[in-house]
């Protein structure tokens, strides 16, 4: 089972939350899980009555601590691709 974590345990959580708000201010981070076997954080996001899950590699989140714009661009690409995809959003 994946371990649920708090936002304080997620590297660069504030950057992720800011990027999500830039895409759509009505999206809320509901829960975050750390998947040890895949070394990714799984963000469960909610908007109105729909849920979307986005997986972000830990290395990417740790890389955001440096000022390398490549990491921020990659994060934006992952979030844009997931949040714009209608298949991501399932009714809860």
Span 18-49, pLDDT tens digits? 999 999 999 999 999 999 888 999 999 999 99
Higher-pLDDT residue of 68 and 41 is: 41
E strands in 1-92: 3-5, 28-35, 40-47, 50-57, 90-91
Q: Which of 18, 19, 43 is nearest to 32 (CA)?
A: 43
pLDDT of residue 66 exceeding 80, the answer is yes
Q: Which of 88, 89, 83, 62 is nearest to 19 (CA)?
A: 83
Measured CA distances, 50 to 13, 26, 77 (Å): 22, 12, 21
The structural domains of the chain, with segments of one domain joined by +, span 3-91
How far is it, in rounded angstroms, from Cα 38 to Cα 58? 9
Q: What pLDDT is stored for residue 1 in this prediction? A: 63
In the chain, % of residues over pLDDT 70: 99
Q: What pLDDT is stored for residue 6 in this prediction? A: 95
């Amino acid at each position: 089972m994946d371990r649920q974590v708090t936002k304080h345990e997620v590297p660069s959580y504030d950057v992720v939350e800011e990027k999500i708000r830039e895409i759509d201010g009505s999206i809320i981070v509901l829960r975050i899980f750390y998947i040890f076997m895949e070394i990714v954080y799984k963000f469960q996001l909610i908007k109105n009555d729909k849920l979307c899950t986005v997986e972000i590699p830990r290395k990417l989140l740790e890389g955001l601590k440096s000022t390398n714009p490549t990491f921020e661009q990659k994060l934006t690409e992952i979030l844009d691709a997931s949040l714009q995809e209608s298949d991501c959003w399932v009714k809860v």
